[in-house]
């Protein structure tokens, strides 16, 4: 199947600093990518839709100035958590969608575990 990578896989940062997470589709082009956030034992919460060459679309309640998304190419989207605080500690996962015939599938990256101290 298709492969999506994320970097870094984990990061620890101090409160007030910014962290950038990269999401790459390795073997297909993705004009759209998605960013999710997941707390332990909870579901995946969609944060935003990343659109290549245009602004991201944020879900209700997600601060666009805090979670900066850039989708500069057909294979790369980045999420920057600005001025991180301990409550931003979470598992961040990106995905890239594909239609294969009539089936819709999202390929997920391995996730980035962010810990803010």
Partner 1 sequence: GQSLEQPSEVTAVEGAIVQINCTYQTSGFYGLSWYQQHDGGAPTFLSYNALDGLEETGRFSSFLSRSDSYGYLLLQELQMKDSASYFCAVFHGSSNTGKLIFGQGTTLQVKP
Q: Which of 80, 82, 89, 106 binds partner 1 (CB under 8 A)?
A: 106
* Residues contacting partner 1: total by CB under 8 A: 21
Cβ 16 to partner 1, closest distance in Å? 28
Give dist(CA 73, CA 29) in Å, integer.
Answer: 9
**Sign of the alpha-carbon torsion through 17, 6, 69, 45:** negative
Cα separation, 56 vs 11, in Å, equals: 24
In the region spanning residues 61 to 100, those forming contacts with partner 1, defined by CB under 8 A, are: 93, 95, 99
Show the tokens assigned to 18: 């910014």
Residues that bind partner 1 (CB under 8 A): 1, 34, 42-46, 49, 93, 95, 99, 102-111
């Amino acid at each position: 199947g298709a492969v999506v990578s994320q970097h870094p896989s984990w990061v620890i940062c101090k409160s007030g600093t910014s962290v950038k997470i990269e999401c790459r589709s390795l073997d297909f082009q993705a004009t759209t990518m998605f960013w999710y956030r997941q707390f332990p034992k909870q579901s995946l919460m969609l944060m935003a839709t990343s659109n290549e060459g245009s602004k991201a679309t944020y879900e209700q309640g997600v601060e666009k100035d805090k979670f900066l998304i850039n989708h500069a190419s057909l294979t790369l989207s980045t999420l920057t958590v600005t001025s991180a605080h301990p409550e931003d500690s979470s598992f961040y996962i990106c995905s890239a969608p594909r239609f294969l015939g009539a089936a819709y599938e999202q390929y997920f990256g391995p996730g980035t575990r962010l810990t803010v101290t």
